[in-house]
Structure 1
């Protein structure tokens, strides 16, 4: 039996990922009543991005959270390296050349980051986090979005009305679907299969360490967790059915070939159901808003994992949204012109990052899957070899992204 309820809030954020939790924290610090809906019971879900970029680390300091953030389990991402046809590797970045202390990208389990943001937001009296609560539809009144309908895991149904609804519910956004919006899709040459392998007692890899391997037409990444390794295996898009049909023994052979350091434990892949497919998408909406609703992060622009810049871009969306909307929200008068300012501010950074990702797809992944070997674009190799200072450019692009955002004055605190 379900129970219908009608509630209200100032801002309703749908989705408790990095963009949603950061926006909730910032708006709560502005004194705005904000409710975040998260459909899961917790943030402990595998196979999510773990990069926290220099611009976000700087943001944590501006929010007075830097010392606490640095106590979370994390490691530093190594410089960007790429394979060359002769089997050697070339270093394309130099994070150490950036101004300290924001001269690195942190690798941190995403659930730790989200728990951290949720705990800090919970100290604000105007913040509410509702877990186990899934959006089922939009409330539309006189051509405006006035809130959402929801259902809890226990079966209770209801409505939450809001001055503004924000879709931060990812690449499979329910709100985007309800609005009838369809993003422009860009070609992606690969999908990703995620799975776990055990970490043996005595192995000293640093928690959150990332390592990558290219071999023939295979690409794999390994993330070090507390007691296991999280593996991402890349191969040509649409190959899921073929890989599964080949069976688990053949897949184990593939992993032992590309990641020989784990050959002694591939038997822990019990069957093909242990593989979790990520259908990689790269897309963006032409318009990120309608009257009463804003879309940010992957709901507005799904990113490829190439370069690991999606989380940073989503958090920057949230900061821009909070900065622009705080005053209109206080006046209870948010217009589509206000929402358009957010898209205008974040459009060019999104296009730049997606253009870089498409270049990486063409130059690294497509040749690798064709058996021609992965290699970076020749001009990048030339510049990296002849002009050492050039490495600062890709370092800054990865660490900060184009147009990094700063914490608004109303959200800043001292540590």
Structure 2
């Protein structure tokens, strides 16, 4: 089998790139190792930058039709009360809000739109096992599905298979770790109509928790010290329930709904990036190129921006059958500044806010965190959270369009 482009990984970066390339007339195959996109506790905050991309692709109405909740404000709750960290009202965008859309719905929407082009193919339960190499260049992938082992040759291979990227490993690319002091335990508890409306971060000495309003339930992210999940499990689910009740008292009467650790998911937080995102015939994007901390909830949006930038650069050369390595370098040059700046801001929050809070179990309960203490405030905060450092716009067009 042969094709022009093969993309490993059906997450936001891979799915959006597949759609953009197919729309541009490129023969593209997207490989996803799971049987569907239905996996809970994945990032699902679509920021204005991503909503704008969907609008430019003519998909805004389809996104709007998905089950979702909009919010224009993010809050910080301390022991002293609530502080609004940022409001997106006033952002110069058609979409001055964050849409909380289940990621599986978003990925289904994007891949269904891509399937409308005859030159797009999606292979589910197809796990990449290695790279095909010829003359010092990547020429496709080896993958495994229910019927056995296969080879898929391509002009360009794109690794968009996440922070544990098999493509990256096969290429011998090793990211530089920037460090993260925490992991995140995800679970859900019922929500009552009279509860607080907006998403918020609750912080107290020795504890942090993010609460995301899902209308009928709260999706909760309990932040724990790096590598501490086994210790948390050893203390028992009652300890986790007590932490929830202490941090968010209005949930105290509902913690019994958390029956055990089978009800939770764990995100092993990583913050890293490759020094080089490409090799001849190979390009890495999204988490495979740069794992983002969950701070600011921008991971999906950085991945989508990578996909748009990559398509803008490589679509026409791919259609012509050749992508010089200089163009792959151009993609990295384009996306490195927003990646580096965003990761730097995430490190500041990790080091100045999260690390002291996690270490403060024996300290006084009051942790003063005025908005001015954060690395971004006011108008800059709106733009940083909403649009990012370098928002990308769809420049590709269908053939003859």
| TM-score bracket for this pair, using the shorter chain length | over 0.9
Q: Mean alpha-carbon deviation: is it higher for 213-222 or for 16-25? A: 213-222
Whole-Å Cα distance in 1 between the matches of residues 194 and 118 of structure 2? 42
**Residue 268 of structure 1 pairs with residue 257 of structure 2:** yes
What secondary structure sits across from 1:96 in the alignment? coil
| Partner SS, residue 164 of structure 2 | coil
Aligned residue in 1 for 2:333: 344
Secondary structure of the 1:238 match is coil
- CA deviations 1:340-397 (Å, max 9, x no partner) are 000000000100100010011112101211225555477447x99xxxxx61110101
User: What is the CA–CA distance in structure 2 between the aligned matches of 1:260 and 1:187, rounded to whole Å?
Assistant: 32
Task: State which of 164, 168, 176 in structure 1 corresponds to 2:160.
Answer: 168
Q: Contact conserved, 1:83 with 1:375, CA < 8 A, in 2?
A: no
1:99 aligns with 2:92: yes
Give the TM-score of the pair, scaled to structure 2: 0.92
2:233 aligned residue: 244
The corresponding residue for 2:389 is 402
Quote the residue 2:300 is aligned against: 311
Structure 1 distance, partners of 2:161, 2:248, is 34
Contact 1:288 1:296 in 2 (8 A): yes
Pair 1:411–1:364, CA change in 2 (3 A): farther
CA contact (8 A) 1:166 1:293 kept: yes
| Conserved? CA contact 2:2–2:154, under 8 Å | yes
Q: Any idea what SS the aligned residue of 2:397 has? A: helix
Q: Secondary structure at the match of 1:60?
A: helix
Higher deviation after alignment, 54-63 or 86-95? 86-95
User: Pairwise mapping of residues 13-52 of structure 1 onto structure 2 (< 5 A)?
Assistant: 13-52=7-46
**Partners in 1 of 2:343 and 2:58 — Cα distance?**
31
Change (3 A) 1:87 1:11: same
RMSD: 2.4
Aligned length: 397
2:136 corresponds to: 143
Q: Match for 1:216 among 205, 226, 239?
A: 205
Normalised TM-score (structure 1): 0.89
- What is the rounded CA distance, in whole Å, between the counterparts of 1:265 and 1:413 in structure 2? 58
Are the equivalent residues in 2 in contact too, given 1:75–1:107 (CA < 8 A)?
Answer: yes
Greater CA deviation, 16-25 or 223-232? 223-232
For residues 118 and 346 of structure 2, the distance between their equivalents in structure 1, rounded to whole angstroms, comes to: 40
Q: 2:174 aligns with which of 173, 176, 182?
A: 182
2:380 is matched with which residue? Answer: 393
Per-residue deviation, 1:83:
4.7
Q: Among residues 79, 91, 96, which one is paired with 2:73 in the alignment?
A: 79
Paired position in structure 2 for 1:131 = 124
Unaligned runs of 5+ in 1: 1-6, 385-389
Distance in structure 2 (CA, Å) of the matches to 1:185 and 1:413: 44
Map Cα deviations across residues 102-138 of structure 1 (whole Å, 9 max, x no partner).
Answer: 2122111111111110111111111111111111111
Distance in 2 separating the partners of 1:206 and 1:121: 38
- The whole-number CA distance in structure 1 between the counterparts of 2:118 and 2:195 is 40
CA contact (8 A) 1:107 1:210 kept: no
